[in-house]
Every structure is written in structure tokens, then in C-alpha cells.
Amino acid sequence: WPRCRAHTPACGRRLATMRRDSAGEEHGDAAAAEGHRVPRERLQGAAVRDAGAVFDVFGRTLDVELSFQAEEGTSSSSSSSSSSRPRMCCARIPASVEEGRCREAAADLARKAGCHLSQLEHELLALELQEVAAVRGWAVRVTPWLGGGHQGFLLDGSDELPEDVDLADVRGHLDESLSEARASPWTFGGGLSRSLHLVARQRAELEEQAIQAAAQSQALGTPAGPPRARPLGAGLRDVRFVESRAAWWVDAADGLLLMLEQKGVRRGQVLAIDAHVNCQDKEAAISAHYCLQLPGSGDLGIRYKRSEEDGQDFRWQGLYDWANREARNRQVISMTASRSHHGGGVFVCFYYKDACELEDVEVVERQSSSGTAAADAVIKALAAEDVRPGQVLWADAHRHPQNDKLAISAHFSRSLPGRGDLVVKYESSRGQMSLKELHSWASSRIEELGLTREGLVSITYDSDRNGSPTCYLFYAGPPQMPAVPELLADAEAEPQRASLLTAGSLQSLSSTVPEAEVEKVDLMTEKVPEPDDFEILPSKVIFLGSHIHVMPADDIEACKNVCRKKGYGAFVVTNGMAYFRRENGQKCGQHLRDDPRSTSYIRQTSSSWSLAKLLAIPQTPGCVSQTLSQVHRSSVRHEACQCTTQ
């Protein structure tokens, strides 16, 4: 099995290959040719120094490389002196051919090497290479548990094994071949044999644990078996993760899909897939979160498209455009990008193999030296584009290798249905945590937040120039509103001013306009306004999420005129009251006096009005629910009350 990794240009990928002597590498072909010219020549005292068979990551090729030190001599009748020369021969067996062809290629290599080996070593080589060909298909399936030859690995310590793998026959043949040589020179045979013994021991332990668990479940009266599938609308539980790492992105992606299949993950149970760089080991890493309690619908069936850019002068926008084209009419799981440890960048689009109707895919991106600033900016950009959480395919964090700014991109399609008045939110975690700890943190937060599969937008990772990773969890949630205890305390502070507006007055104001005249108007603002930054102006307007609904439309024009004439940054309205943002701490009341359409509604205050005073929450805590229910009944739209009560 491999001791180091070297790049093999012929296959265009990173292969785990055997260490070989430089002199042997230089003279290997000449030695092999010499052996064919004099087939009867024997090398006395031949001893294999380093030999083995190496699988490519997923068995695309089977590389067999031999390097040995032999004492050169002539036939038995010759008495010439001998000298020591290194020898090497190698062969590559395509894994796509049938088993018989593998055996034939192995025999050819054995005959080629047999010119320099003793009869016993020749027979051992032939037998072992035939065994390699026989177990090729099996070894590809269990490579995560073998000692080498596979660049991916599991992070959650799983010991699951394919149930249909019969180890006894393979182990018996290998043990028999190794015993014939007494001191076998074959590193592959010894390493594989030890790995098989380890796998067999792990399997025995798992079987014993399964028997004990079944007995315990039967004693408790609970049926044994897989967990029951949770309904789609229920909060996710038991969220798990795996990660595949390799020198190249294609190997990491293939490794991840193999791990998911070995975990028994089915279609519909994958929550997120993200590509990122493991800065500590300078490897390409792709992780996936999944939930086996979700209902599965057949085999996993995940495919992916990959595009890589070399060098330092590429632009992310080019990869975004490529990914948007590839995502059309596909059931997208994730659209993730990352820089590479060797320079350049990569974009991978994971999707289910079955097609669907997905129209034009668009993207918004924001960059910043601060991760929170970039995340806030891209969320505001989505709100400005009137994009709902259900329409967002994926939000991804990545960095360009040429600068240290973090880029967060969000890909969306307006052809998908939105999710009401929910907005995109995020949480992040960083510090001295490892990638595995961040994976676990994301799984825990999904459960703590009670997220559903539809409510989860993405789980993405990024590392700064110091190699410190950060995890960003994007999800759908309700708009943030002030808490009721704060409103009550503010109302108690100034009870007389709070009583100026009552639930009854709000009801009479909102009932003057029919619901049919409600018109939706989008108003773009630079930031989400805070209530304490505003003065009030009564208006026949209610606030729903990040949108403004006007009753009738000319009222919104009056508000816009006030903003335009007085230089206010923005305004929002809720339950018939308009909030105007103050600039430099000035009181809006002093400036709104000049507007004839609003003079009769001006309330001069020494401080800004809070949302509590506008809702007229009474001083007695016991009356809070009653007042809120009155506001609920007075609202023209049900969503207005939901926004207010939250």
C-alpha cells in the first residue's frame, strides 16, 4: 500500500503510488528489456526491496509497481563474477475491464518480472497479482477502512461495513500465499491482510453490538430497526455529517458520494453539501450533512458538475455564470465554490439525476473583509431583489486566492415558490474550532432552531489567511421584531403618551379602507430600521415582513414626498403608523410641520416614539394579551398581527 503520493501525468490525477529508488526508476526499462533479450538468465540471490499494488481512489486503474535489488549472474554453467543492480518494472491494469483481463495482465507482469526472480518468488508474485485482480471490485467498496490507497476518510468515526462482503475466502487465499514464502517481501499482501483482519474484527464487534441492542429492545418492548421517518414539516433531528478529503476536487467529490452510499443515505435525505479547503493539511474537502429520519425516495442518485480555474487572475463571476447555466432544469442540492490550496478556484454543482423544471438561475454576491458584513450585505441584496427563502438554491462562502476578502454568493430562481413573509437569516461560528467541531456545531444548531428541511438554506465554510475556519448556517426565519417585555416597559415609562393611541383608534383607522384596495409596494432601504430611530406619522399603511402594503396608494406617495423633501433616509409603517428615520438625531416632528397632508397628525416628542407606544400596550401586564388580540382583530391582513406579536 502507498507510502507517499506522486502525480502521474498519464492519468491526469493524483495517485497514491509506491516509493521507488531513483536508480531503479532510471534503469527500470533497460533492465526489463535486458531480461526479455536473455530470458534464460537467472539472477542469483534476488530480493524484492519494495513492491506492491496500488488502487486509484475508486478503482479506475490498478497500478502494480515492483522495485527490487538483485545480484546479477549467468546460468549455472557460467563462473563469471556477479554485480548488484537495481531493477524495476510496472504495469497498469484498467479497472473497467473484466476480471479475466485483469488476471491476464497480472500474469504478463509476473512473467516480465520473473526473469529476475527465483521460482518461489515468481510463483508468489503470480498468485498475489491474481488475488489483487480478484478482490479489485471488493476492495473499492471498503477502501475507507483499508490501511491505504484511499484519500478520503470519515469524520464521525463510523464503523459500518457492507453486509455482503465475504472476508473469509479472501483472507484465506492471502494467508496461504504469504505462508508459502515464509518471509514475504510483498508490502501489499501484508498490508491488505492486516487490514482485512482489522475489518473482520470490527465486523464481529458490530454484530455483537447489534445482537445486544436487539435483545435490549426486545426486553423493553420496543421494536428494533431503523428510526421511523419524520414528516417533512417536522423539525430535523439526528443530523449527521461526513467529509471527504483528497488532493484533487474530483477525488474528494467521488469520495463523498461513496461515503453517503455506504451510510445508506437515500434521495431526499441530504441537507447540504459544501466544498472548502482544509488549510491544515492543504487538501480539498467536501462535506455533507444528512438526516436518515427524513423519508427517502429510492437510491441516492446524486450527480455533480465541476469547473476549475487555474492561476490567480480568474473571476468568480465567470464561475457563477457557468453554474447558473448548469443548474437549469436540475434538482439542485448545492452550488458551492472554494479556492484551491494550489491556487485557482473551483465551483461544484450537486444535483439529483432526475430533471425538473427550473428556469433561469440568478446570483447576488457581496464581498467584505468581515464575514458578518458580507453575510448581512448578501441578505439585504436578496431582500432588495424580492427573493424569498424558498427561492434561494444555495448561499456559499469562499475567498479568492489573490485577496483576503470573503465573498458570499446566493443563487436563486424566481420560478420557485417563496415562503410567505419569512426572511433569510444566518448564524456563524468560528474561533479555535476544527472543521469536525464546526460540522457538529451546525448539526446541533439545526436541531436547536427547530429547522425543517425546507427551512434550511445552506451550510457553508470558509478559512481566513491564518487557516481558522468559520461555519455559516443560512436558514429561513420570521422578521425580527422587538420583544413584548421591552414594549411593556417602554409603555409604562410614559403611560399618558402611550394612551394617545388606542387599539380602538387603530381599528377605526384601518377599517376605513377595503381590503381589495391593498396594493403591494417594494421600498428599498440601506438597512433594516430600528424603531427607536423613527418618529411617527399616522398613515393607512400596514407593514408585512420586508414589504410595504399601502391603503390606498396615494398615501405611500405622500410618505415618499416627505422623505424626498426633508432628506430622510427611509421609512417603514406598521398598523397604520408611519416611521420616518431621523438623521443626526433631529426630530422629525419639527420638519414634518410644513407638509399640509400630515400637519394634523404630528405628535411632538422630546424623544423618539417606540413601537410599544404605537401599539398602546397598557400598563398592566395581564392586559397585554388582550390588547394584542384587539390589534389582531383590527388588522386588515392576518400577517400584520403575526409580525406585530412577534
pLDDT in tens, 515-555: 333 333 333 333 334 444 444 433 333 332 223 333 333 45
Quick check: 564 and 609 in contact, CB under 8 A?
no
- Residue after which a domain boundary falls, among 162, 197, 232: 197
Q: Which three cell numbers mark 325?
A: 447555466
Contacts of 627 (CB under 8 A, 6+ apart): 503, 615, 616, 617, 618
User: What are the beta bridge partners of residue 398?
Assistant: 407
Name the helix (H) or strand (E) containing 447.
Answer: helix 435-448
Sign of the alpha-carbon torsion through 612, 618, 624, 629? negative
Q: What is the pLDDT of residue 466?
A: 80
CA atoms of 302 and 288, how far apart (whole Å): 12
Q: What is the 3-state secondary structure (H, E, C) of 319-384?
A: HHHHHHHHHCCEEEEEEEEEECCCCCEEEEEEEEEEECCCCCCEEEEEEECCHHHHHHHHHHHHHH
Q: Which residues contact 110 (CB under 8 A, 6 or more apart)?
A: 122, 125, 126, 129
Residue 175: predicted pLDDT = 55
Same domain flag for 443 and 497: no
Q: Identify whether 230 is part of a domain.
A: no
- For the chain, the domain total comes to 3
Beta bridge partners of 541: 550
Strand partners, 548: 521, 543
Domain that holds residue 465: 240-477
Q: Which of 446, 477, 508 is the last residue of a domain?
A: 477
By CB atoms closer than 10 A (0-12, 13-18, 19+), residue 281 is exposed
Residue 218 falls inside a structural domain: no
Q: Are residues 413 and 306 in the same domain?
A: yes
Residue 579 resides in a domain = yes
Strand 270-278 with 43-55, pairing: unpaired
pLDDT at position 95, please?
43
Does the residue 215 lie in any domain?
no
In terms of domains, do 359 and 446 share one?
Answer: yes
Nearest one of 496, 431, 444, 510 to 473, comparing CA atoms: 444
Q: Does 214 reside within a domain?
A: no
Candidates 503, 575, 565; CA nearest to 536 is: 575
Judgement on whether residues 628 and 500 belong to the same structural domain of the protein: yes
Same-domain pairing of 313 and 461: yes
Both 468 and 495 in one domain: the answer is no
Predicted pLDDT of residue 55: 38
Nearest residue to 91 via CA among 121, 118, 119, 125: 125
Q: How far apart are CA 124 and CA 182, in angstroms?
A: 11
Report the distance separating Cα 507 and Cα 93, nearest Å: 81
CB 551 within 8 A of CB 516: no
Q: How many helices (H) and strands (E) does the chain have?
A: 18, 23
- Specify whether 512 is located in the same domain as 453: no
Q: What is the mean pLDDT of each run of 10 residues along the chain (646 residues)?
A: 28 26 32 32 38 40 47 36 49 48 54 49 49 44 34 29 46 51 42 51 63 65 46 74 90 90 91 89 89 87 90 87 92 93 88 84 92 92 88 93 88 85 86 84 91 92 86 86 38 34 32 33 36 39 31 49 54 47 37 32 29 31 34 33 32
Whether 490 and 618 map to the same domain: the answer is yes
Whether 539 and 461 share a structural domain: no
* Residue 74 CB contacts under 8 Å (≥ 6 apart), including other chains: 41, 42, 80
Last residue of a domain, one of 428, 444, 477: 477
Is position 437 within any domain? yes
Each residue of 381-433: pLDDT tens digit?
998 888 888 899 999 999 988 877 899 999 999 988 877 767 899 999 886 77
In terms of domains, do 454 and 527 share one?
Answer: no
Angle at 295 between CA 289 and CA 299, to 5 degrees: 75
The number of residues making up the chain comes to 646
Q: Do 25 and 150 fall within a single domain? A: yes
248: in domain: yes
> What would the 3-class secondary structure string for 134-177 be?
HCHHHHHHCHHHCCCCCCCCCCCCCCCCCCCCCHHHHHHHHHHH
Residues 519, 578, single domain; the answer is yes
Let me know if residue 234 belongs to a domain.
Answer: no
Q: Give the pLDDT confidence score for residue 378 in this predicted structure.
A: 94
- Which residues contact residue 417 at a Cβ distance below 8 angstroms, ignoring those fewer than 6 apart? 390, 391
